Amino acid sequence: MQTKTVKMLIKRELTEKRQSLIWLSLLTTLILFFTFPKQLLFTTNLQDGHGFIHFLFVSIGAYLAGSSFWEFSSAAKARSYLLIPAHTLEKITAKISVYIFGWWLLFILAWLIAGTLANLAFSTIAGTFTLHSLFNSLFSIFKILLPTLPAIFLLQSLGVFASCYFKKSALFKLAVALLGLGLLIASLTLAEVSLLVKYFGLAQMSSATLLPQGLNFKLISGLANLGSIIIGVIACLLSWLRLRETEAR
């Protein structure tokens, strides 16, 4: 794999999708700009806005990843893309760089711009502007986003795979597949619990009996994050295999 080729493919993606990315950047910055005033005037840690910021970061990130192989929606564009003289690994690396990690950088950049403008506009009007509050609000984005990175990486990786595997309506088909999988797991779990209640007297057991002593929920959270990263990497590898298979046809 050659770094120069990957850079050229990334440049191609940015050039082809520049209009969509510019509008997306402006929209994200505008939304974040109007998210700041309440937080700046009434609190210093942005706790009230975490849920919305997470939703914005995850939803748009999943949408972008689900449209990463936009060429496959057209036979002519797909043919042109597949004929690009580059290795499959270089192509998938460029896609992941733009539509997964590129979105992370874009969102942080939008946050910094929106936060700076919001601080200057609203904090100055309220008479509460200080450099400390400015830097505190700007760099809080890392504290807000870090816990969600494994989950967003998993969703984006699945989105890239769906975009590579399904030619059209990738996100919709992925959502249906995940919903079906979730219902299957929920049904199996419910059936297992019902059997335990019926035959092993689970209903009479206390919560202290069921849970291990000193259960470390941070450990469970860490394992869940590790699992998300591993599944995400597997999804990226499957995307590479799928693209390789498509090129071989």
pLDDT tens sequence across 30-74: 888 887 655 544 444 444 557 778 888 888 888 888 888 888 888
Q: Report the distance separating Cα 242 and Cα 86, nearest Å.
A: 16
pLDDT at 203 over 70: no
Average pLDDT for the chain: 76
Most confident of 104-108, 163-167, 177-181, 188-192: 104-108
Letter for the amino acid at 133? S
Q: What is the pLDDT of residue 200?
A: 53
Residue by residue, DSSP assigns the chain as --HHHHHHHHHHHHHHTHHHHHHHHHHHHHHHHHHHHHHHHH-SS-GGGHHHHHHHHHHHHHHHHHTTTGGGGSHHHHHHHHTSSS-HHHHHHHHHIIIIIHHHHHHHHHHHHHHHHHIIIIIHHHT---HHHHHHHHHHHHHHHGGGHHHHHHHHHHHHHHHHH-SS-HHHHHHHHHHHHHHHHHHHHHHHHHHHHHHH-GGGS-HHHHSPTT--HHHHHHHHHHHHHHHHHHHHHHHHHHHHHHHH-
pTM of the complete model: 0.76
Q: Identify whether the C-beta of residue 176 lies closer than 8 Å to the C-beta of residue 123.
A: no
Q: Average pLDDT for residues 151-177, to the nearest whole number?
A: 77
- pLDDT of res. 226: 86
Conformational region of residue 214, where left means phi above 0, alpha means psi within -120 to 50, and beta covers everything else: left
The confidence score (pLDDT) of residue 213 equals: 46
Q: Which pLDDT band holds residue 132 (cuts at 50, 70, 90)?
A: low
Q: For residues 166 and 173, is the Cβ–Cβ distance under 8 A? A: yes
Residue 45: the pLDDT is 45
**The predicted structure's pLDDT at residue 151:** 85
Contact between 235 and 165 (Cβ < 8 Å): no
Cα–Cα distance for residue pair 170/168, rounded to 1 Å? 5
Q: By percentage, how much of the chain surpasses pLDDT 70?
A: 66
Question: Tokens 């092993």 map to which residue?
Answer: 200
**65 or 183, which is more confident:** 65
pLDDT of residue 228: 84
Mean pLDDT of 134-150: 76
How many angstroms separate the first and last alpha carbons of the chain?
Answer: 22
How confident is the model over 160-183, as a mean pLDDT?
68
pLDDT band for position 180 (cuts 50, 70, 90): low
- Determine the pLDDT at residue 75: 83
pLDDT at residue 237, as a whole number: 92
pLDDT tens, residue by residue, 73-118: 888 888 888 888 888 899 999 999 999 999 999 998 988 888 788 7
d(CA 71, CA 67): 9
What count of Cα atoms within 13 Å lies in the side-chain half-sphere of residue 67?
A: 10
